[in-house]
Structure 1
Amino acid sequence: MADSTPLLSHYDESSEQKQKPRSLDDTIERCIGDFGWSQFLQAILVSLAWVFDAQQTFISVFTDAEPSWHCSDQSSSSSTICNSLSNICQLPKDSWSWDLPLETSIISEWGLECSSSFVTGLPASSFFMGCLIGGLVLATLADSTLGRKNMLFFSCLMMSLSSLLTVFSSNVWIYSALRFVNGFGRATIGTCALVLSTELVGKRWRGQVGVIGFFCFTLGFLSLPLLAYINRGSSWRNLYLWSSIPTILYCILVRFIVHESPRWLFVRGRKEEAVSTLKSMAAGQSILTMSFSNVPMEQESWNVDIYSTIKILLNKRWAFKRLAAVMVAGFGVGMVYYGMPLGLGNLSFNLYLSVAFNALSELPSSLITFFLIGKLSRKWSLVGFTILSGICSVLCVVVGRISPVLEMGLELVSFFSACSAFNIELIYTLELFPTCVRNSAISMVRQALVFGGVFSPVLVAAGRKNSFLSFGVFGVVIGLCGLPALGLPETKGETICDTLDEEEHKELEKKAAAAGSNNAAALLA
């Protein structure tokens, strides 16, 4: 809870010198406390952005799914032809019909059932391509000109308006273009929400507050099958309408209720706005004056421009090898993490239940990462989870025709493993790179994850005719992409460096120690 002492009331310079704060964090915490109700409510409100982010990420699981169909009542000869063929593209148009109205999916409404996998997978691929480009274009705006709050507002507004306009799509090409804009807008929502929510509280509570966003993402994922089930038999456009209007209302709340990060305001030199924000967050306390003139403004490690540091990562051989390994692993993990939910329509299981089960499987993954990360080997955990995910994904193809329940179970294990690998890889990347380039390295890994998602929809569309082209390829890719991590150093319990020189010096010490132990072993032999 916030400190009840008036915020720098009756300011005394000698007192300030005796208890001079060591950093901007300490000064802000002394003003508004470590964790108060105002900060808690602000963090909750900001984290709600993850709910709408998850809905737009996985909404195409239902809107772009191929509906079930049945043979029409005809003469016995035509009926025999229909029953003997499973590919509707080889049947006469009048010999079969959809089980639900045409408008329930873009596939049935626009007659895409016999189109190429490129066309049917284009909308979802366009969304992830928008995420990829949006992440590159908008990566530094939250740190530089717009700030956290404005970037979150802008991203949510672009995502919600493009989702609303999607309702009026007349063909797959317009629909794909709007999905691209939708992905472009939502590219920075997760990052902005995470950073803003954690910067509104004290250092001691940032880890716990950050987890709120992950649970909100799971909540948004879980809400999709409920919305789709209520909407079953109705137009796919209703899903976009129902998900866009609440997001627009949320944008209004962000604009008028959410506070900008006082930390960012101070770093940008906007001290008056920062003090005003702190006063509003500390409502109910006696505030007479605030002074931050003596606060040491240290250079922040997170305020690094990705475009100026990527050259360093590429020029340093050890840094390039690490970055390449984690990006390759990220590509495989992203393909399964984003592709598995999109491919649920290809399984012989209830679509609504399978999506709900996948969303629920993220909860134990987050809990395992949260509670056991201190005991887990980073390298072997990442490799192990990617291999397990790959094996189970390939087995889905093998047992799919034998037991739908077993197939669903294997898919859940595969998705759970991919989620766990996702979480561990981000933590592993944090520890592999020094502070001065850490933000850029994580940004590149996140881009690799999204890049894997770009290919997933096309593979899912191809998997409607041959399941190996979706789940089989997913399994092979993630299993192979995790192997380069075997060449990475283990970081569990290791000291995290701040500069490139420190990291290189630490590696030299390790090599020298290893060489010394080998020489000693040779002498003993």
Structure 2
Amino acid sequence: MMRNTSAGFGHLSDSKLGRKGSLTAVCILNAIFGCLTSLAPNYVTYLLLRFLTGFSTGGVGLCAFVLATEPVGPSKRGIAGMSTFYNFSGGIALLSGIAYVFPTWRALYVASSIPSVLFLVLVIPFISESPRWYLVHGRTNKAMKIMRTIAKSNGHHLLDGVTIALDDEANDTSSGNQSWKSATVEKETISGSVIDVVQSPITRIRLFLALGINFTCSVVYYGLSLNVVNLGTNLYLTVLVNVVAEMPAFAITAVLLDRFGRKPLAIGTKWFSAMFCFMGSMMGNVGIWKVTRVCSGILGIFGMAGTYNLLFIYTPELFPTVVRNVALGCAIQAAQIGAILEPFVVVLGGGFPFMAFGVCGLIGGMVAYYLPETLNKPLYDTMTGLEEGEIA
């Protein structure tokens, strides 16, 4: 119901709690509020608990994705990031089955809260904090410990002289020791807030563009999913088909991501989806035209699913570690605003929703044109590192 809290959890993730700490907190809150919703005695209590559930849910994907991809190098970051979205779509597919098995809303809320509990027990204890977060907070020893663990799991080991440091601290040595440069030392105090993002001209422009492209993407992605109620088909089956249509988009995008780059793919997938949305707006809702409209919606979901998940990889690469989560949180918040507006578009029915989705896809592709390419670029850790990297 209310998920526009991603920027808040992004700030906590960048500052005090870290990636793992924030993920743990949101999973606990999500499980508690989700289960309490099933016990709501009246509508007002239900609304309050749904608000609190949305408050916690808004930070789950944000914290999990950044934690999963920050330790990954540039050559594998795209594939690693896209692979995480199979779990997202798989969860939606599973939810359609759970909703069919548990038709009462109270039972459904309990069933949908169980995965958060399982994640806390079976996954969280076995994952590590992001070494980049440790680095920018001066906890180099813990960062190096994680890096050694990662190297060992890959069948390698780090030499004794190898260190992890910010660029101005990383000096070339002549005795065989090596320094791993990740970014420049921050000259100013960074708190990991939205204010830090907008104070820098580079990140400010990138943030505004990211907000625009994520907003338009969300309008199409969630809109096409909600618009199944206007197609006159079986609700459970149509939701399942839409989810299945997303999965090939992940694989294709993952393959093309490192070949063509983030920017061309973002533009291409948005315009691909827009084309079929425009096509759907011109079709009727009877006979062969109804089938064509349904197919247009599925292909629209296919294209926008590629964009939506690509943005989770693209957006974090645009910002340094010190503000990465809060910037991604703002982008997700813009996306959720788009999702909130969707019911007002879908309720109009007819060909208008498809037309609106097509316009948003077209505009979103135009906005993406002004973003920089990040393919094979390093993930900078500080504002100064990003600025100097742009100059270089």
SS at match of 1:141: helix
Q: Partner of 1:131 in structure 2?
A: 3
- What are the within-5 Å matches in structure 2 for residues 101-112 of structure 1? none
- What are the within-5 Å matches in structure 2 for residues 493-512 of structure 1? 498-503=385-390, 505=391
Q: Hey, what's the Cα distance between the residues in 2 that align with 1:230 and 1:336?
A: 29
Q: Hey, what's the Cα distance between the residues in 1 that align with 2:34 and 2:42?
A: 15
Q: Partner of 1:261 in structure 2?
A: 129
| Selected match of 2:45 from 131, 155, 174 | 174
AA of the residue aligned to 1:258:
F
The 1:434/1:254 distance shift into structure 2, 3 A limit, reads: closer
AA of the residue aligned to 2:114:
I
Q: Hey, what's the Cα distance between the residues in 2 that align with 1:435 and 1:145?
A: 14
Q: Hey, what's the Cα distance between the residues in 2 that align with 1:500 and 1:201?
A: 22
The answer to whether the 8 Å contact 1:374/1:492 transfers is: no
Is 1:484 the counterpart of 2:352 in the alignment?
no
CA deviation after TM superposition for structure 1 residue 410, in Å: 0.6
SS at match of 1:178: helix
Q: Hey, what's the Cα distance between the residues in 2 that align with 1:190 and 1:455?
A: 21
CA deviation after TM superposition for structure 1 residue 379, in Å: 4.5
The answer to whether the 8 Å contact 1:260/1:277 transfers is: no
- What are the within-5 Å matches in structure 2 for residues 40-119 of structure 1? none
The CA deviation string for residues 177-224 of structure 1, in whole angstroms up to 9 with x for no partner, is 322211211222223223333467788766554444212112111101
The answer to whether the 8 Å contact 2:215/2:338 transfers is: yes
Q: Hey, what's the Cα distance between the residues in 2 that align with 1:319 and 1:275?
A: 31
AA of the residue aligned to 2:192:
D
Once the two structures are overlaid, the 10-residue window that deviates more, 239-248 or 397-406, is 397-406
Structure-2-length-normalised TM-score = 0.75
Q: Hey, what's the Cα distance between the residues in 2 that align with 1:216 and 1:473?
A: 29
SS at match of 1:374: helix
* Percent sequence identity over aligned pairs: 28
Q: Give RMSD over aligned pairs.
A: 4.1
Q: Hey, what's the Cα distance between the residues in 1 that align with 2:372 and 2:34?
A: 43
The 1:297/1:319 distance shift into structure 2, 3 A limit, reads: closer
Q: Partner of 2:358 in structure 1?
A: 475
Q: Hey, what's the Cα distance between the residues in 1 that align with 2:146 and 2:389?
A: 40
The answer to whether the 8 Å contact 1:349/1:404 transfers is: no
Structure-1-length-normalised TM-score = 0.58
Q: Partner of 2:85 in structure 1?
A: 214
SS at match of 1:399: coil
Q: Partner of 1:195 in structure 2?
A: 66
AA of the residue aligned to 1:390:
A
The 1:199/1:399 distance shift into structure 2, 3 A limit, reads: closer
The 1:425/1:181 distance shift into structure 2, 3 A limit, reads: same
SS at match of 2:331: helix
Q: Partner of 1:39 in structure 2?
A: none
* Paired positions, count: 361
- What are the within-5 Å matches in structure 2 for residues 243-392 of structure 1? 243-254=112-123, 257-261=125-129, 263=131, 264=133, 267=137, 269=139, 271=141, 295-298=163-166, 305-313=192-200, 316=201, 320-376=204-260, 378-392=262-276
| Selected match of 2:14 from 138, 143, 148 | 143
| Selected match of 1:235 from 84, 90, 104 | 104
Q: Hey, what's the Cα distance between the residues in 2 that align with 1:388 and 1:144?
A: 39
CA deviation after TM superposition for structure 1 residue 409, in Å: 0.6
CA deviation after TM superposition for structure 1 residue 412, in Å: 0.7
The answer to whether the 8 Å contact 2:74/2:376 transfers is: no
The 1:342/1:384 distance shift into structure 2, 3 A limit, reads: same
Q: Partner of 1:401 in structure 2?
A: 285
Q: Hey, what's the Cα distance between the residues in 2 that align with 1:325 and 1:275?
A: 37
Q: Hey, what's the Cα distance between the residues in 2 that align with 1:207 and 1:481?
A: 21
Q: Hey, what's the Cα distance between the residues in 1 that align with 2:375 and 2:148?
A: 37
The 1:200/1:434 distance shift into structure 2, 3 A limit, reads: closer
In the alignment, structure 1 segments of 5+ residues that lack a partner are: 1-126, 284-289, 507-525
In the alignment, structure 2 segments of 5+ residues that lack a partner are: 168-181, 185-189
Is 1:420 the counterpart of 2:288 in the alignment?
no
The answer to whether the 8 Å contact 1:301/1:436 transfers is: no
SS at match of 1:482: helix
AA of the residue aligned to 2:299:
V
